[in-house]
Amino acid sequence: MLLLLSMSARAQQHQYKVSLIGFYNLENLFDTVNNPIKNDEEFLPGSERQYNTRIYFDKLDHLADAISQIGTEITPDGLALLGVAEIENDTVLNDLVRRNKLKDRKLRFVHYDSPDERAIDVALLYNPKYFTPLYSAPLFVQLPGGAKDAYYTRDVLYVKGLLDGDTIHVFVNHWPSRSGGEERSIPARAAAARVSKIRIDSITALNPNAKIVVMGDLNDDPTSPSVTKVLQAKGKTNVRSPELYNPWVDFYKKGIGTLAYQDAWGLFDQVLLSAGWLNKEQAGYFYQKATIFNKDFLIQKTGKFRGYSKRTWDGITYNYGYSDHFPVYTVMLKKIQ
């Protein structure tokens, strides 16, 4: 997609290519089939929720509708890359990309089954018009003893590929939750952050200008130690490799978030960028802006969650919603003239 934009004080016009990179927690996207080796009983037809095929495909249609609209005011193709969390398996991903609102984009995905005891994974959806994966791997997260009741959590998904000719490195994360207490679970999220950090350091040691994306539901805010100290992510663009730039700091300080709990907004869903994205004079893509996709149709209008993201469930009652998280995305530009 080409854009004609003014990018200088003299209003000089340039043409740019645009690519959008996003993340979305899909809130318990389970199929209706029992997996005997995973704890998926909560989302089966015989469960208290009475989860069934009708609810499953209705949720898929809602998610497909939301994803299909992200960034389309910038480019009609929407996202080039979308990291997702809380998906059960490749079955739900195949069903999602084949829904009517998405099928024409012919989206593909990278996914591995992870050892999470609730059977929820991460994945990377991509538009093959813009992105070609070259290598991928699940990165195991070893939880420290006593940090969480569950022994296993989600792997970090690492994908190296070509974004319209640019080599990029993508890490899709869903760090351990705060259940059991925020303080108690801090070491678990720090351990998950270190998994990405170790690989980032090895990449930037060879190429300080490498283009790296760390995205996910971090279950921590932009100012949390796991983000600022372990990942070395800062809210200023003058970062130096291997530090990361976090465009969500200002959002968070203004009280803008991606999910709400007890009438307070958190910003757990983030897309962090290496210094290699921040030089607008270099060849290839560079970072322009970050956006929380919180359009009106994604907002709950009634009830105790009024003003929150329109979630799938209200307790065990189906809410005909989307997710309890808003999607986020970043805009990348490449000068062509």
Domain that holds residue 166: 2-335
Residues in the chain: 337
Question: How far does CA 16 lie from the centroid of its chain?
Answer: 25
Reported as a single tens digit per residue, the pLDDT across 311-327 is 999 999 999 999 999 99
Per-residue model confidence (pLDDT) at position 243: 97
Domain CATH code at residue 240: 3.60.10.10
DSSP label at 229?
I
Per-residue model confidence (pLDDT) at position 336: 85
Taking the chain (337 residues) in runs of 10, the rounded mean pLDDT of each run is: 50 81 98 90 94 98 98 96 98 98 98 91 98 98 81 94 97 92 89 98 97 98 98 96 97 97 94 96 93 98 95 95 98 89
Reported as a single tens digit per residue, the pLDDT across 135-157 is 999 999 999 987 776 778 999 99
Structure tokens that stand for 47 in this block: 């469960």
Which residues make Cβ contacts (< 8 Å) with residue 27, sequence separation at least 6? Answer: 86, 311, 312, 313, 322, 323, 324, 325
Give the predicted TM-score (pTM) of the model.
Answer: 0.95
Per-residue model confidence (pLDDT) at position 105: 97
User: Which regions of the chain does DSSP assign to beta strands (E)?
Assistant: 2-6, 13-29, 81-87, 108-111, 121-126, 131-139, 156-163, 166-174, 211-217, 233-234, 244-245, 259-261, 264-266, 269-274, 286-292, 313-314, 317-318, 328-335
Give the total number of structural domains in the chain: 1
